[in-house]
Structure 1
Amino acid sequence: MKPTIIFTLCCLNMLSAGTLYMFSLYGPQFAEKLHYTQTETNFIAVTGDYGMYLSGPLWGWAVDTLGSQKGCLLGAFFLVFGYVMMALTYNQALFSDSFIYMAIFFAFVGMGSTCSYMSTISILAKVFKDNRGVALGVPIAMYGLSAFIWTTISRVMFMRADGTLNIYGFLLFLAAATCIINLNSAIGFNQLPIGDDGEVGKGKAKDTRPVPANAVTSLASGSQVSSQGSRALTPTEATPLLVEDETLVQEDLVVAQIGNVYGEPDISGLAFFKDPEVWAFVFSLICLSGGGLMIINSVGAIIGSLYDNTPSSLPPTVSALRLALTVTEKIPLASLQSTHVSLISIFSCMGRISAGIISDFLKSRHISRLWSYLGFGTIMLVSQCLGAFYVDRVDTLPFLTVLTGLAYGGAFSVSPTITAAKSFPIIRLSATPFLSDSEFWGTRRFASNWGWISWAPALGGLMSNLVFGFFFDEEAQRQKETSESGAFVQCRGVACFRWSFVFTASACFIGLATAVALSFSRRERKAAIKRERLAKLGILATAS
């Protein structure tokens, strides 16, 4: 099958895998009709995240072992079951409408999303070996754009005349649409030949023989060398950015050729868990992802708490949204929630596309992809600070949702490429900390490795969402006690969420510091590996 067709199927599959991020569109309606508290509503959202992320290792192993076709079939089943049961629970057609059952069914949606996601990125990582950042970034951008597309469909097809959303019909529609998309992808992926090494195509297993002596000698003298199972590297491809003398250039060329002969790293299983860089990267993801998932799952509640505080006009800085948000008395709350869900989705898509392009550009300059991850993490920190100290009306909320979508999408587009990066180090012993290759753990067991790493957002989302629910319900209870009627009231004002953003902003700062430390540590580790390999080949002179 042509790569363009495979690429198209992957993009469509990513659309079906990203429906989980629309929870803010219908979550508040769950609370209103079924009388859930904010903590219970956030628990449902967190359970969906857990179904998505904690099942990552299982479905990663399944995709690596059984293939992407069966992964898509599993995804179709879980998505249909989850959405149909959620629709029936919402319509009170089952034996109970408890939030526990709703959470369980939403977890099935999360598992189906992961099956679809893992199947797609596994195929992409194996089919598109060049420009992997863009090849992964664009379909993953569709994953980020998924909420916008499905939200737009909900507005056109399922918005009632009174401005409320037909939740029951929309959930059934999602069940049918995601199932059809995954079945089509399963048919397409089944037509791809798989080689003995697990790669797509007819290729043989990589040559892992020792480096021929003549190859080292020839390369050290400045000539091009090729060996069976690998192509020759030219000085243009392997020469580092900063050059001080010819000897160091030849050393870098030798190390690069060693990488070609031995193939990409294949770190998995127990060795993967023993790698301290895994734990540093996971901890950083936990800290940076929590705030993003909190906003994605709770933006509807934030809008509800600010809805009565919206002025009749907006400042020029948000003139693009003036028409949509000027007079909230004429715009239903559901429409405002839909608008911000769409904003997060659109800018998540932009972040994912830009992350792929930026990471490939950095890689071509022998700069670690980790630095693009740091850039998007910084944007996430800024967004959380805005939530803590700036957002106090609906007209200021777009800044928060836009930056959150951009940062979350970018960070989670570049993270899989960091996990799968395969080149061997071309590191100057005297280079700056920014000059490094992004080799991490390889592609052979990529789905399994990324499945374990993807536990991080689940843990970060759990902490942040429960913190949000705690502060929100505490403030709602305080407002209830001080109200004249003493009846239940919707939490109003910035006090409902401000301390939640203080918590996530602090976590983001810690996550960024961890990622910076990881980058410096990785540079030192790769430099040590280079010295060891060159010493074994007799290239380095004896210690002076």
Structure 2
Amino acid sequence: MKSIKLSRKTLSFISALLISSLCGTQYAFSVYSTSVAERLGFSSVQINTIGSSANYGLFFFGPFFGYIVDTYPSRIIPMLASITIFTGYFCLAMTYQGYFPNSFLLCVFYLLLTGIASCAAHLSSMGTISANIKSYRGIAFGASMALFGLTAFIFSQINSLFFRGDTYHFLLFTAITTGVFIFIGSIFLVRVPQEESHEEIISPSEENSSTSSASLNNEERTPLLSRHEESDVRGRELFQNIDAMILGLTLLLIGGVGLMYMNNVGAIVKSLYLSTSTHPLLIDEEYFSSSLPSDHDLNKIQEYQNFHVTLLSLFSCSGRISVGLMSDLSKNMYNVRRLWFLLAASLYILIGQILAGFMIKDLNHLWISSTFIGFGYGHLFGISPTITNEWFGKIQFVLNWYFISFGGQLFNLFFGYNFDKHKNDCSGLSCYNTAFYVSTIGISIPLT
């Protein structure tokens, strides 16, 4: 009987990891963003708005799905998400190929659908992990968030190996794989009832009627700070909690700065490539240049874009998984607060921002920025769910997490606005470095 319970729990965890590995496709946007912009005639602001819409779907709908997942957990949610994410990418592919109307607003809607679906599916997997696993939550959440961050690497590598600039078929492939495998994972995504295992978390209705002595026996419930002990902060109380507000502001600023670079690394790569001595950047009313690159140049640009998306994804993944492991070991063995890892994430991203915005002027060294920002972004979103779970309780963990992690799109849109504003009289670094002045100030706020 115990082996059956363990098998169900293990299979559910594997399914949650599978779903997580397919929910971060919005971070692969830079792989095809410039191709979509050129094919459909979108400006930098427009393509940034399209890319941001996936993140809007991911964050704006977090509270809604967080409440549903916490209160009425069901496999139906990720099943519906699989259909929705397929629809979003399929419609974008049809628009790119000219089968559907070329509409900026429709493209925004299509990417919004993918973000909503990613939000629903990822929250379902996170909620299942929170319900089924008590010991070593840092590692469990870190693994889920790591695979979420690894999605961009997986799809960028597939694009490089099998599609090589064939954006239409790449988008179709993305639609089919995300839709099919999220649906398969949802079939086995179950919460093992508490009565079947003493390690299980109690459902929300049962938790309200249980005594606090059971949670006191749980070693992982030991808080970072004494004032957070046995916390159960939710609903309106969360917005009146100073710790929650500070944590949310920190994530908004640091995460927003990292997201700005990740969503626009494709534009940065193209700008730097075209500004070299052999490929001068000659700008007119077109999206990037009047000196249209040759097919060879377009292929090289695509290779560089895939490379940097891969770097960001790999180091984001390593940051998420390593911070979960290190924070668990540091907390249990040396009583080191997890907040120190949040500070480390800020420093990593700050270093990457300074290098990319003010010091790196060619593609030979841009990998350094991608490495720092990817690792810092992974650190940030690897440690934050665990902090949220420990500080504010597990009953409405998913809903609390998405309230706290919401935001960060203003930096992304400012980058697009700034790029369009300077596109007629810029070359390389000067096309976008103004945006990095603003982002550097933004990330400096939580550090102070």
Partner of 1:518: none
- Taking only aligned residues, the RMSD between alpha carbons, in angstroms, comes to 2.9
Aligned residues of 2:134 and 2:200 also touching (Cα < 8 A): no
Aligned residues of 1:288 and 1:512 also touching (Cα < 8 A): no
More displaced 10-residue stretch of structure 1: 34-43 or 301-310: 301-310
| Identity in percent | 31
1:269 aligns with 2:274: no
Q: Which amino acid aligns with 1:506?
A: I
Q: 1:70 to 1:87 in 2, by over 3 A?
A: same
Partner of 1:291: 257
Q: Which amino acid aligns with 1:454?
A: S
**Could you report, residue by residue, the CA deviation over 1:106-135 in whole angstroms, capped at 9, with x for unpaired residues?**
011001111111011111112121110001
Greater share of helix: 2
The aligned length equals 420
- Alpha-carbon deviation of 1:347? 0.6
Partner of 1:406: 375
How does 1:244-255 map onto structure 2 within 5 Å? none
Partner of 2:413: 466
The whole-number CA distance in structure 1 between the counterparts of 2:405 and 2:99 is 35
**Could you report, residue by residue, the CA deviation over 1:423-471 in whole angstroms, capped at 9, with x for unpaired residues?**
xxxxxxxxxxxxxxxxx10111001111212213xxx22x111221122
More displaced 10-residue stretch of structure 1: 167-176 or 2-11: 2-11
Q: 1:492 to 1:499 in 2, by over 3 A?
A: same
The unaligned stretches of length 5 or more in structure 2 are 1-6, 279-295
The whole-number CA distance in structure 1 between the counterparts of 2:277 and 2:305 is 17
The whole-number CA distance in structure 2 between the counterparts of 1:167 and 1:68 is 35
Partner of 2:135: 130
Of 449, 458, 475, which residue of structure 1 is paired with 2:422?
A: 475
- Alpha-carbon deviation of 1:17? 0.4
Which one scores higher on RCO, CA 8 angstroms, separation ≥ 6? 2
Partner of 1:381: 350
The whole-number CA distance in structure 2 between the counterparts of 1:50 and 1:202 is 32
More displaced 10-residue stretch of structure 1: 3-12 or 116-125: 3-12
More displaced 10-residue stretch of structure 1: 331-340 or 126-135: 331-340
The whole-number CA distance in structure 2 between the counterparts of 1:355 and 1:191 is 26
The whole-number CA distance in structure 1 between the counterparts of 2:237 and 2:123 is 22
**Could you report, residue by residue, the CA deviation over 1:223-265 in whole angstroms, capped at 9, with x for unpaired residues?**
xxxx6775498xxx98x9xxxxxxxxxxx9xx89x96xxxx42
How does 1:183-222 map onto structure 2 within 5 Å? 183-190=183-190, 192-193=192-193, 200=200, 205=207
Q: Which amino acid aligns with 1:156?
A: L
1:371 aligns with 2:340: yes
1:12 aligns with 2:18: yes
The unaligned stretches of length 5 or more in structure 1 are 160-164, 211-226, 241-251, 313-327, 422-439, 480-490, 514-544
**Could you report, residue by residue, the CA deviation over 1:132-160 in whole angstroms, capped at 9, with x for unpaired residues?**
0001101211111111111111222222x
Q: Which amino acid aligns with 1:9?
A: S
Q: Normalised by the size of structure 2, how large is the TM-score?
A: 0.87
Q: Which has the larger radius of gyration?
A: 1
Q: 1:390 to 1:195 in 2, by over 3 A?
A: farther
Find the residue that maps to 1:455 and give its secondary structure.
coil
Q: 1:361 to 1:111 in 2, by over 3 A?
A: same
**Could you report, residue by residue, the CA deviation over 1:355-381 in whole angstroms, capped at 9, with x for unpaired residues?**
101221232133321111111111111
Of 428, 436, 439, which residue of structure 2 is paired with 1:501?
A: 436
Q: 1:496 to 1:191 in 2, by over 3 A?
A: same
Q: 1:140 to 1:104 in 2, by over 3 A?
A: same
The whole-number CA distance in structure 2 between the counterparts of 1:230 and 1:449 is 21
Partner of 1:451: 402
- Alpha-carbon deviation of 1:66? 2.2
The whole-number CA distance in structure 1 between the counterparts of 2:393 and 2:146 is 22
Q: Which amino acid aligns with 2:58?
A: M
1:109 aligns with 2:44: no
Partner of 1:278: 244
1:332 aligns with 2:337: no
Partner of 2:44: 38
Q: 1:202 to 1:367 in 2, by over 3 A?
A: closer
